[in-house]
Structure 1
């Protein structure tokens, strides 16, 4: 007889999450769907639904690993798409809620709870091999779920870090945390800071950065993250050596193309991931030579200078933005045009890192302005909504 695996929320003054029991549920009336095809809407009894992908190797009679995905705009199929390759390669079921989206945390946790209960009741799930992933606000939700339950083996956090609630921050939990973030993403600086924070805690974590902005990462970035997660579990020396070769070649390719920050990031991850498994003398030498080179130091300093400037500019712009939303009838649009023109000049005449910085600031402003029209997040007046529309056109004229 199979054990029962149950997920439930208990909400009092603070939200608490607990798992009861061990093992998994196997339901004799378990649904059967076509494998290797995205099913965009599987109905849950209360009218909610989720998107589903079953890999070609799926067997309803055996427990399967699973990835629960959360998209900030409740786009189930969109949330599944970055994980289709790893689903097939590593045999993961992938599900993504069609209802969870940016908004009150309690509502999203309740939606997640109903999704979990349905999936655990209808699919045979491998308890020790569950991942939770998300993008932007969905990333913050995914990390919160992993922290509060401590029942997931890993988190794939794309384009955003933790929620603003301190108790939702990883600390002593057992899961591995992998961040993925483009260097034009508005949350890039946040993800860099989170990386340092988790390293100081000796938390099992890493961060993959790439040339990109605030959107779901492409498949190749998810593949990189999965390789790192799999290295945390596998004992096969042949597979570890193969993964090492892939990572080493990646670091070399970045170096040869002059992308020294990316190369150093990969070398650093190799040294942390493969210690005790493969000889690392050559990697140590290459990494040391790289980070002590003039080219790397110049690019690193350029990044740090851009991040410092980003903080100052963002504070000035957001202080003004918050004040303008308090008094939307008194907004000085000439001030905004002047400040946005300054950004455009930096973008035209600045260094590579300054151009990335401008992209981050511009999108961050746009996201803040756009969110004011989200009734789940703000109770905005008609004047504030009108201001949002006007500022959006100034930030992105085209």
Structure 2
């Protein structure tokens, strides 16, 4: 990881030695990384891009190394804020040392070929790419903010952000297998004195939609305005406030009380120093005291408790059978999935989301076990066990889960 820190320190302090001309306003899928062997990245230059001034940059890590896919959710935000967008085609879920080396070469290329604003260097990623982005930011003092999508921190203790001060915006679907992890991440970051927030949307484990990504960047730029890093004029700040308020009110009208409460608290934290927000404070109190909020909050908490218990039960059994595939009892799993299906059909919205998260969590773990990139030494019996259980999960998944 050390080379990345050195690269950023050297190149962010320097003026780029030369900039190649690229077409603006469209994704260019495969640009060769200087000094690498067959490494490429996808690039998007906003229509307002100019070589005459330093540009903000968002460097994205896509878990399957699909550069074009990784850049697509960022286009609206790039056009609004002028970001250069970059996504590696080679960094993917796998060993951190390998991905650090790929990132190092990519950083060297970018900061030698583009004039980058050192106070607007953002990292982002989805799933394992989010963990990688946060790891790099945690090991460098040069990152402005991280947008972590669908996953939180890296699992390695050495990559944790104990002494970091970057902004953190998490985005996660409420049906995402890592939803509970992202909820638990917020109080941890609060204890570490982070300026952080979490955006949610009602879908599964996927890249966020463009509108949700734009909301995250709006939050980041209000935070940078408060720090004095960037300047937002009065009209821009007012429009951002009104836009956030309207979205919160729309959620209340649609009885999405948990989402509305999330938005109202973020409005109060983001704009409280700019406006008198007594009405927002009162609205937060009213929503929190409402029967609808209390019911939804209770149901979500109960679902999270059940999810933790079932996750521990299922993973203990799966890990045991994985070590000794000859002991696998597929009938036990069939009965377990039948019980989940009954719970799904009878349960409320939070129960349904929980069961979707749980089944995908199992499927994703089995997928990782059969991935040659992540587990190159897996034995044939273990591989067959993982494949068989994956197929059983797919066979026993009702169509309703996919709606």
Normalization by structure 2: what TM-score?
A: 0.93
| Contact 2:139 2:161 (C-alpha < 8 Å) held by counterparts | no
How far 1:23 sits from its partner (Å)?
Answer: 2.6
SS in 2 for 1:362: helix
| 8 Å Cα contact 2:7-2:107 kept in structure 1 | no
Cα displacement (A) at 1:201: 2.9
Residue by residue over 1:209-244, the C-alpha shift from the partner in whole angstroms, topping out at 9 and shown as x without a partner, is: 110100101101101101100101234222111111
Q: Offset at 1:328? A: 1.2
Summarize the alignment of residues 39-50 of structure 1 with structure 2, pairs less than 5 Å apart: 39-44=28-33, 45-50=36-41
Residue 64 of structure 2: which of 68, 73, 79 is its match? 73
CA distance in 2, matches of 1:316, 1:204: 35
* Corresponding residue number in structure 2 for 1:341: 338
CA distance, structure 2, for counterparts of residue 300 and residue 212 of structure 1: 19
Q: After the TM superposition, which residues 223-234 of structure 1 pair with which residues of structure 2 at under 5 Å, given as runs? A: 223-234=214-225
Corresponding residue number in structure 2 for 1:24? 14
2:373 to 364, 376, 379: 376
Establish whether residue 33 from structure 1 lines up as the match of residue 30 from structure 2.
Answer: no
Secondary structure at 2:125 match in 1: strand
Residues 1:277 and 2:277 are matched in the alignment? no
1:55, 1:91 within 8 Å by CA — same for their partners in 2?
yes
Structure 1 residue 175: Cα displacement: 1.0
CA–CA distance in structure 2, aligned partners of residues 10 and 299 of structure 1: 46
Q: Return the offset for 1:253.
A: 0.6
- The structure-2 alpha-carbon separation of the partners of 1:16 and 1:57, relative to structure 1 and needing over 3 Å to count, comes to closer
Which of 118, 130, 142 aligns to 2:121? It is 130
Q: Which runs of 4+ in 1 moved over 4 A?
A: 15-18
Partner of 1:188: 179
* Aligned partners of 2:57 and 2:85 also within 8 Å: yes
Q: For 2:120 and 2:187, how far apart are their aligned partners in 1?
A: 26
- Does the 8 Å CA contact 1:362/1:395 hold for their aligned counterparts? yes
Matched, 1:111 2:102: yes
So what's the TM-score if we normalise by structure 1? 0.94
* 3-state SS of paired residue (1:368): helix
Q: Find out whether 1:54 has 2:54 as its counterpart.
A: no
2:172–2:179 contact (8 Å) kept in structure 1: yes
Which residue does 2:384 correspond to in 1? 386
For residues 315-354 of structure 1, the aligned pairs below 5 Å read 315-354=312-351
Deviation at 1:151, TM superposition (A): 0.6
SS in 2 for 1:150: coil
Q: Contact 1:19 / 1:151 at 8 angstroms: preserved in 2? A: yes
Distance across 2 between alignment mates of 1:374 and 1:60: 42
Hey, what does 2:394 align to over in structure 1? 396
Cα RMSD, aligned residues only? 1.5
Residue 308 of structure 1 is matched in structure 2 by 305
Offset, 1:318: 0.4
Asked if the contact 1:80/1:96 (under 8 Å) is kept, the reply is: yes
Q: Is the 8 A contact 1:25 1:122 kept in 2?
A: no
- Greater shift, 91-100 or 231-240, is seen at 231-240
Matched, 1:91 2:117: no
1:221 counterpart residue number: 212
Three-state SS of the structure 2 residue aligned to 1:317 is helix
After TM superposition, give the deviation of residue 376 of structure 1 in Å: 2.5
- How far is the alpha carbon of 1:16 from its aligned partner? 7.2
Residue-by-residue CA offset, 1:85-113 (whole Å, 9 max, x unaligned) = 11111110000000001110110010100
Aligned to 2:228: none
Q: For residue 388 of structure 1, report the CA deviation from its aligned partner.
A: 1.7
Gaps of 5+ in 2: 226-230, 398-403
Larger deviation: 367-376 or 156-165? 367-376
